[in-house]
């Protein structure tokens, strides 16, 4: 079933991959390779989708998820810039040109960053993505402020 050049079945598969990867990355930090497996699975589904569907439908379906991943990462970065203003945290780019290809990692990274900032996940034990490496430690932020 296609709605405005977005195939619902394939979109549900991509959503399932994003959710599975996000949950595994965020809630099981021991499995760092799950992020790579999720990206590889998304690319495999994307390649088969490109083979199976008309090119316009496949490209639109992929781009919907790329735009959603970019919007989630953009929202998190804007929020993080206001929260960590003056703490020495380096700003990340707001718009990632490579987001069209890297959306399977952008969604779990943004969710992980929000959960670390909210205190649901520990700073060192739960965070495995790039947000953990770029966030200033709480002790340094408290000493500076």
What is the rounded distance in angstroms from the CA atom of residue 71 to the CA atom of residue 75? 6
pLDDT of residue 81 exceeding 60 = yes
Kindly list the distances between the CA atom of residue 144 and the CA atoms of 7, 12, 34, 119, 132, in Å, as whole numbers in the listed order: 51, 46, 36, 20, 19
What is the rounded distance in angstroms from the CA atom of residue 42 to the CA atom of residue 2? 20
- Total number of domains in the chain: 1
What is the rounded distance in angstroms from the CA atom of residue 74 to the CA atom of residue 107? 10
pLDDT of residue 118 exceeding 80 = no
Q: What is the pLDDT of residue 100?
A: 67
Closest listed residue to residue 19, CA positions, set 106, 100, 107, 98: 107
- Give percent of the chain with pLDDT exceeding 90: 11
Q: What is the pLDDT of residue 48?
A: 93
Place of tokens 């040109």: 97
pLDDT of residue 85 exceeding 70 = yes
pLDDT of residue 96 exceeding 80 = no
Q: What is the pTM of this model?
A: 0.67
Q: Which domain holds residue 109?
A: 2-144
Kindly list the distances between the CA atom of residue 2 and the CA atoms of 9, 10, 17, 56, 57, in Å, as whole numbers in the listed order: 8, 10, 20, 11, 8
Q: Which residues pair with 2 in a beta bridge?
A: 7
- Tell me if 107 sits within 8 A of 68, measured CB to CB: yes
Q: What is the pLDDT of residue 51?
A: 94
Q: Phi, psi at residue 125, to the nearest 5°? A: -80, -35
Task: Please name the residues in contact with 79: beta carbons below 8 A apart, sequence gap of 6 or more.
Answer: 114
* pLDDT tens track for 30-63: 766 777 888 889 899 999 999 999 999 999 998 8
**Residue 109, Cβ neighbours under 10 Å: how many?**
25
């Amino acid at each position: 079933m296609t709605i405005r050049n977005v195939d619902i079945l394939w979109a549900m598969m991509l959503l399932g991959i994003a959710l599975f990867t996000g949950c595994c990355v965020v809630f099981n930090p021991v499995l760092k390779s799950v992020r790579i497996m999720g990206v590889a699975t998304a690319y495999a589904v994307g390649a088969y989708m490109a083979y199976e569907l008309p090119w316009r439908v496949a490209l639109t379906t992929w781009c919907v998820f790329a735009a959603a991943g970019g919007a989630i990462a953009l929202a998190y970065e804007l929020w993080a810039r206001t929260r960590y203003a003056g703490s020495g945290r380096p700003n990340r780019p707001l718009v990632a040109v490579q987001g069209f290809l890297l959306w399977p990692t952008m969604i779990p990274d943004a969710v992980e960053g929000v959960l670390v900032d909210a205190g649901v996940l520990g700073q060192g034990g739960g965070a495995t993505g790039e947000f953990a490496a770029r966030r200033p430690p709480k002790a340094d932020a408290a000493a500076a402020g």
